[in-house]
Chains A and B, each alone.
Chain A
Amino acid sequence: MPVDRDIIIDAMSKIQVTSNNEGLVPAFNVLVTQAPTNFWNSFAELITNSVAPELKPAAEALLENAAHECGYHTGYGIITSEEWASVCAPMIESPEDVLHAAFAVFTAWGWAKSEIVELIPGEKMVVRAYDYYESDVVDRGALKGPCAYMIQGVSAAFMDLAYGGEYDPTGQTGLRTFKCEQVKGIECGDEYGEFVVTSAA
């Protein structure tokens, strides 16, 4: 059975998280929060435009890293969850299927309407995102450089999970075996965002 994105998006978009008596949401192996997208966007925009120009790449790398670690640990939590077992697992026959299904979940949860358009197992993945909240920072005109740090980090993390070896809860191994470059962005005036993930070696 091939991975059916529509089935996954329909099912996974309906998942609701609720907080416990401590006001916390333990789910998918992590603690989860709900926040307006413009909160996350605001800080990324303010910090990258406040630092000295020579430090901007470092700030961008740290924002990407936040998503990379998030994607690695939460991604593992997702693919080992009961929800995944019931909805996605019956469609999975290979690590490549895991990746296609993971991007359907990524879409369902509102991170980015995205899909894999090219995949060379263990080597390279190209992802396109047709709608994503990180592009909302521009109301008119276009940025000179892309700013979808969250998609960059999570895309690399998903390749880590698929091909980077056994999951390591400490992140000492397995994490950062892949890196991602954003080559197109809606925020830059492109029709979609495009993300190229390759080995970090």
Chain B
Amino acid sequence: MATDYATLKKGGWMRQKQKNNFSLRVRVVGGNLTATQLAKIAEVADKYGEGYAHLTSRQSVEIPFIKLENVEDVKAALAEGGVEPGVCGPRVRTITACQGEAVCPSGCIDTYALAKELDDRYFARELPHKFKFGVTGCQNNCLKAEENDVGIKGAIKVKWLEDKCIGCGLCAKTCRKGAIKVENKKVIFDESQCNFCGRCYKSCPTDAWEDTHGYIVSFGGLFGNNINKGETIIPFIEDKQKLLDICDAAITFFAENANPGERFKYTIDRIGRDVFAKKITEVYNG
């Protein structure tokens, strides 16, 4: 029987240069694996592979040197540890995320919960070409949001609360954008300079900054043969449902307009950046 490489690839089995050998990519969400999953991956790598695993550039794990004849056994073994195969090819890929506010002092949003939600919603969806989502918790951008087709960045919108302020000036010190000045113990906040990093709010010792957590989204990022920084078209998004609606609109635009093998950026360029911006802005304002 002829080997159906396309089906194998779809299920995360990456054909190696060595005949009948596959590097199996497993499904990872937001860069987290449980101890049970890791133990099972180790066991499978020992028994069916060459005793090691490879960490991919986008937070997945691959187990190289799995033999074609063991594909079904490996799938069954991994399932026992709650490990599923990942995907490759023209579909929604691994949803990546940094640790976010659940763990990181700089985090502005719960990146893992959002990655999980995006994974449930989109993972492995068939599209004209690969499609990548990445979620980073704050402006430090450890997860490099803008290199993804859709990049999501945690953000905090702030408002100064005069009655709680002691005029200590720490917010002005921690602001990296020069958006805050303190004169005569009074804050002068230039909102147009704010990048929503939340450092003023986080440094304040008297809770004198009101915080609204939200998202900044970029579209059309690439970091392969061609490199393009994803573009932020719409302002700060406060509501998670709105964010999901915008993700829906972006992926639908790609599904309806992209040529096979064309990345999102080139679809936007070919159809027209203004056409895409109009669609996304309508959803944002809707």
A interacts with B: no
Residues on A lying within 8 angstroms of B by beta carbon are none
